[in-house]
Amino acid sequence: MNLDTVHTGLALFLLANLLAGLWRVLAGPTAADRMLSTQLFGTTAVALLAMEADTRGMPALRDVALVFALLAAITAVAFVRRVWQPREEDE
Amino acid sequence: MNGLALACMVLGALFFLAGTVGLLRFPDVHARLHALTKADNVGLGFLLLGLALEASSPAVAAKLFVTWCLVLLASASVSHVIARAALRRGVEPWQR
């Protein structure tokens, strides 16, 4: 079993995880539940990109992984600050 | 391929599976946060550890480690921020 086979298999497995996580976007019930799957996407994307950096021999993908880690946090904070405030304020 | 690295990466993938199952099966937003921000980060840690073990240079391994630290910091903060917002909006934590 060589390196690329293992990496490709794990990458496909992680992508399957992402697809399963999409069910939570559909089901909800609150906006925060939908937002949680973006957190899943963020963490999984970091893992995928770090593996692809090896498989494809593109070291720059590790920097992309760092940016994904940062953006996932900013997205969630922006969501809570701008969209998901207590009900008294938005109704 | 290094057997230890392979074991770490497969273990990491299993933790990712646990996180996804938790996201789909747990009853409310607080419990789901717990699955996502803990299981997934352990999974990412093991996966990056596996990659670091077979990395070409120490600098690459260090960068993977720094990425993991950033993800840990970020998801801990996100977990607290979302849980607090959920409580303020009146989402009661699930009880048996």
B56 CB-contact burial (10 Å; exposed 0-12 / middle 13-18 / buried 19+): exposed
Q: What is the ipTM of this complex?
A: 0.84
Q: What are B21-69's pLDDT values in tens digits? A: 988 888 888 888 888 888 899 999 999 998 888 888 888 889 889 999 9
CB within 8 Å of chain A, chain B residues 11-50: 12-13, 16-17, 19-20, 23-24, 29, 32-33, 36-37, 40-41, 43-44, 47-48
Determine whether the interchain pair A70/B23 forms a contact, defined as Cβ–Cβ distance below 8 Å.
Answer: no
pTM of the model: 0.84
CA-angle at A8, arms to A3 and A22, nearest 5°:
150
Residue B87: its H or E element: helix B58-88
Q: Which domain holds residue A58?
A: 3-90
Q: Summarize pLDDT for A69-91 with one digit per residue, the tens.
A: 888 889 888 888 888 777 655 44
> d(Cα B13, Cα B80) in Å, to the nearest integer?
25
Q: How many domains, chain A?
A: 1
- Distance from the Cα of A69 to chain B's closest Cα (Å) equals 6
